[in-house]
Structure 1
Amino acid sequence: MDPALLHARSALDWLLELGADEAIGEMPVNRYELTAKAAAPAAAAAPLAAPVLARPADPVTVAQELAAEARDLPALAQAMEAFDCELKPGARRFVFADGTAGAPLMVVGEAPGRDEDIQGKPFVGAAGQLLDRMLSAIGRDRADPDPARSAYITNVLPWRPPGNRRPETPEIDRWRPFLRRHVELAAPRVVLVLGNSPAMALLNRAGITQIRGQWAEAVGRPALPSFHPSYLLRNPPAKREAWADLLSLLARLRPPS
């Protein structure tokens, strides 16, 4: 036998003994080179994809869901007090509402101030005392248990902003679903909107000096925007326009003859 063929036959027999009994490719593969690549540092490997983290829930969406689940005013108050809010840690007390639920008049202000934060009721400071006199001028008293002669009072925000500042737009957006549900559950005939923040929350309008006295609709009910009592304390001449608004409100509240 040709020595070259004999050598090739011996090499083949040796490969068979080693277990290389199948030819996969036409070109030889250096397995030692593959082993070296596998042992290369992990830094040389392709970077792993970053883990996909769950996005935090949108607070407005959460507020909408919680507000929709509230079937009465106590349930709404409980949901609002438990709702996560950056203002909550800096406030003393949760301020929900005052007056008589079921009254034909619902008054919506901006946010609690220092006195409201202490007592846990809306409109109890100097602005609240002026509001009481304004309501008394049209035959309303929040302390009257008879809904026909009372009023129901709340704010856009249930927590006091730092330094008694005005509510910011993201805060109004966050609490708007609760406020709208509050109006639905209180079911007033008329809503008195005091100041820019409730006008933004309920009417999607700002510029209270331009829109005051103009009847609109909030949550399917007649709504009258007017000056906030704190503005009237700083600008007494504006009480003339506020009185005109109260007379318009009184006319709307009177039962049809």
Structure 2
Amino acid sequence: MSPVSLDNKKASYDDIAERVRNCKACPLHRLRTNAVPGEGNLSAKIMLVGEAPGKNEDEQGRPFVGAAGQLLSSLLEQAGLRRQDVYITNVVKCRPPNNRTPTEDEVAACIGFLKEEISLVRPKVIVALGNTAGSALMSLAGKQWRGVTAERGRKVKVSIGGVELTVIPTYHPAAALYKPDLKDYLAKDIKEAAEEAEEPARARKTLLDFMGG
């Protein structure tokens, strides 16, 4: 990608982030300290989408910086990824009171930002962290969502905003903090995402090696 394209991506990201920080589309803006746009590599092959900011995220204006974020960073490292290699965001950009699940109206008011982020980054794989993320992404793709327990472990090929990608539904890191037995599933799914993101490159290499032999 040329430097001009990178500059254009950065300008587009800055515009999205500024609109997120000033958004008043739903009542959550009255309670926030900071709205929380996504962050990370604007050309990432992997995007991770959570539910909404928590207390630490609301205070710092950054996604996944609390205990759940620390677990997520650790699991990324286990999969051979650095946080700066991926793009991390949430469906809803403002913290709901007491970290409750966002309402359908709150998701509807905010989902346009997520669609813009997907169109900008154009990831190959999205890891849907939890029920809200999975439901929102499947809605954008025109697919049915049966709940994270039923969907976890699948790889779903979808098109969102003209971007062809794979959605891997899994549990939210916060759930794994309360139920440690979920951590292994989460680790497996993030590793699966890393492998899925690199799969075409491996396939090309194998073909070239075969032809060379």
TM range (shorter): 0.7 to 0.9
Is residue 190 from structure 1 mapped to residue 128 from structure 2 by the alignment? no
Larger radius of gyration: 1
Q: Which residue of 2 aligns with 1:138?
A: 79
* Alignment check: 8 A CA contact 1:191 1:218 kept: no
Aligned with 1:221: secondary structure? Answer: strand
Distance 1:206 1:166, change over 3 A: farther
* Alignment check: 8 A CA contact 2:125 2:166 kept: yes
Counterparts of 1:119 and 1:96, CA distance in 2: 11
Is residue 215 from structure 1 mapped to residue 167 from structure 2 by the alignment? no
- Letter matched to residue 83 of structure 1: C
RMSD: 1.5
- Letter matched to residue 215 of structure 1: K
Shift of residue 244, structure 1, vs aligned partner: 2.5
Q: Which residue of 1 aligns with 2:19?
A: 79
* Alignment check: 8 A CA contact 1:203 1:218 kept: no
Higher mean C-alpha displacement, 237-246 vs 120-129: 237-246
Q: Which residue of 2 aligns with 1:234?
A: 178
* Alignment check: 8 A CA contact 2:43 2:122 kept: yes
Alignment of 1:68-217 (within 5 A): 72-84=12-24, 85-143=26-84, 150-204=85-139, 205-216=145-156, 217=158
Number of residue pairs matched by the alignment: 181
- Letter matched to residue 56 of structure 2: D
Counterparts of 2:29 and 2:103, CA distance in 1: 15
TM-score (norm 2): 0.80
Counterparts of 2:20 and 2:159, CA distance in 1: 20
Counterparts of 1:151 and 1:115, CA distance in 2: 20
- Letter matched to residue 99 of structure 2: N
More helix by share: 2
Higher mean C-alpha displacement, 215-224 vs 179-188: 215-224
Gaps of 5+ in 2: 1-10, 140-144, 206-213
Counterparts of 2:73 and 2:159, CA distance in 1: 23
Q: Which residue of 1 aligns with 2:5?
A: none
* Alignment check: 8 A CA contact 1:199 1:206 kept: no
**Structure with the larger RCO, 1 or 2 (CA within 8 Å, 6+ apart):** 2
Aligned with 2:47: secondary structure? Answer: strand
TM-score (norm 1): 0.67
Shift of residue 155, structure 1, vs aligned partner: 0.5
Counterparts of 2:159 and 2:30, CA distance in 1: 31
Aligned with 2:114: secondary structure? Answer: helix
- Letter matched to residue 156 of structure 1: V
Shift of residue 161, structure 1, vs aligned partner: 0.6
Q: Percent identity?
A: 35
Counterparts of 1:91 and 1:81, CA distance in 2: 10
Aligned with 1:87: secondary structure? Answer: helix
* Alignment check: 8 A CA contact 1:196 1:206 kept: no
* Alignment check: 8 A CA contact 1:104 1:253 kept: yes
